[in-house]
Amino acid sequence: MKKLFSLLVFTLLVSSNTLAQYQFDWMQEAGEYNKTAAMMAIDNSNNVVVAGHWPHSAIYTRKYSSTGTLLWEVTNSSGIQSNYQKSIWTNCDSSGNIFVVGKRYSTSSSGVQEYADAIVVLKYNPSGTLLWKRNLPVTQSTVGTSAGFSLRSEVDAAGNLYIGTSQLIPYGLTLIKISPTG
């Protein structure tokens, strides 16, 4: 019995030590009820970049230090009446530049369905200055609304941005490459 008790205590000590390898460091809230975060990435300095949007409005991008301090926040809107932007993905390149990829959309007369009419690509420098913005026109499939609009992006070692999307005409996967100069 004493050996069983010793084995149990040893097992509990080892397992609790193993579970204690992670600790809660910090948490940051959006600061506004309507803000929705879509994606986050880590830059080359271990800062956290969060991209999101306000419903039926604009894209926001926030950068936090590795300790959770808000470094900056920028917003970007379509500038077109009844046309909105929504972030879907974000990446950072090896120089710390930030890419936010999303969609520009409008709503039906009932205000419910969203119809994407462009892929939005934003490139910021590490300080949050907008370097360029590209609107890549698309024709969305009539198979579904933009709820099925999928979009992902990746940056290679040379700084090229690759975007993959579906639910567009022609059907299937569409690949887009944008070079570092934009």
What pLDDT is recorded for position 167?
A: 62
What pLDDT is recorded for position 63?
A: 97
What pLDDT is recorded for position 107?
A: 72
Question: Rounded to whole angstroms, how far apart are CA atoms 56 and 148?
Answer: 17
What pLDDT is recorded for position 134?
A: 94
**Comparing C-alpha atoms, which of 147, 103, 97, 101 is closest to residue 126?**
97
What pLDDT is recorded for position 76?
A: 94
Answer whether 141's CB lies under 8 Å from 154's CB: no
Mean pLDDT by 10 residues, the chain (182 residues): 63 60 79 85 96 90 96 92 89 96 80 75 97 86 53 93 76 80 68
**Comparing C-alpha atoms, which of 131, 130, 105, 113 is closest to residue 53?**
105
For the sheet with 174-178, list strands across it. Answer: 151-155, 161-165, 174-178
Amino acid at 171: Y
